[in-house]
Structure 1
Amino acid sequence: VTYVLTILLAQAIFGVSEVHQAGYICAMLFVIPGFPLITGGIDLAKLDIRSGLERITYALLIILTATMTGWVTALVCRFQPADFPALEIDTGMMIILRIITSFFGVYGFSLMFNSPRKMAITAGLIGMFSNTLRLELIDLANFPVGVAAFIGAFFTGCVASVVKKKIGYPRISLTVPAIVIMVPGLFMYRGIYYIGLNNIEDGALWLTKAILIVMALPMGLVAARLCTDKNFRHCT
């Protein structure tokens, strides 16, 4: 609602284009609980069924509430989750901008998880390359979103294992903030929005993409852990 009022005021006073209305989705993305989604998947991989199911259920309840609220707000305010306009930026500059913004995104997430600043910077350095790698695999190599997410998470896990051996930071404190930025809150919202409008085909498409990415992220971390930690390969 805050975003809606702000953008409508900007349109009335400054003549801002209506294309910026789609940005209200971005204003809600912090509500999507990526941390319990990812750690819940890791718990299931370790056969910690109770913790995994509790965390995933907790995350799903928040996601359902957030997406439904966003959908109702959009209906009341007559907003639609339109596609963002294509940016007229060459590939090299786009990669640089993605690296920079990914760093600050991961750094911010890490600070919100109460990490010390040095640890947050380290997570940001890892995440800026892994997230950019994921996005470029989708844009330049036409990788499916799930496969790109798995590769990005796998890269994050491998680099975090090296950093842990060199510096000693906990692996989980580096990996989870670095890939939380990859959680597809936009896809989740659009899926619920279209289903609410009885557009089941588009809604199912967006939700399927979201589910594939959410499944791929912890799988990538687990695969990296299996490759870099021989103790993790066995039941304790």
Structure 2
Amino acid sequence: MSVTVTDLPTIVRQLSPHISRDDTLPSLCGIYLEATGTHLFATATDRYTFALARREAAEPEPWKALITHADLTALRALFPARRPADLTLTHSRGCTRNPDGWLTVSDGTRSLRLSAGATLARKFPKWRPLFADALAAEPHQDTETLYNAAFLARWPKAAERHQPLTTWSAGPGKPLLVAAGPDFLGLQMPVRLDRQPDTPARERQDRAALRTTWADSLTPATGRRLKAA
């Protein structure tokens, strides 16, 4: 059961910033793969951000796998993104001796065999309802929303050079939806102030306060202006 992925290193680059580093949640410490017969989906999350990529890929039989953080390091080393190549991704189902199964990545010359992590893959969060709800919701932003700046910095990895990102939110408490081209979606949860009552007031500025504090600075200076010769 093999699929050809023209840009697997790109997918790894897009999703790596969203992989959890929490060892108590091993099912989140990697990239989840799901072959459906028409597409290969790849996704990763640390519960604060959630990234999803898809590629068209004919696969006769559906399967699920999870590539751990350690195996991704080996994958990046053997097939770096700076050397694009068509890679064949082969899934081998588990057996009594190895219930997790195997993934083999090959460019025709070199190959890398990884655990398919079937046990962890079965515990990965149900991602379809989350993205379906976010896509179905109409944009609605009539009050301030706080976002963690470090998490926002993850999204440039999703886009190619000079490719714009599309974003919208259905309102306070709802995730920010991020799209890069037709085959990448992302979700970022806002900062929940009700769970952080000690957040300093300067970090909780609303529009009225910002207008007041910036009014003098943004008022055009009066009087004559010098002109260039």
How would you bin the TM-score normalised by the shorter chain? under 0.3
Select the structure of larger CA radius of gyration. 2
Q: Which structure shows the bigger proportion of residues in strand conformation? A: 2
Normalising by structure 1, we get a TM-score of 0.24
Q: Which has the higher contact order (CA 8 A, sep 6+)?
A: 1
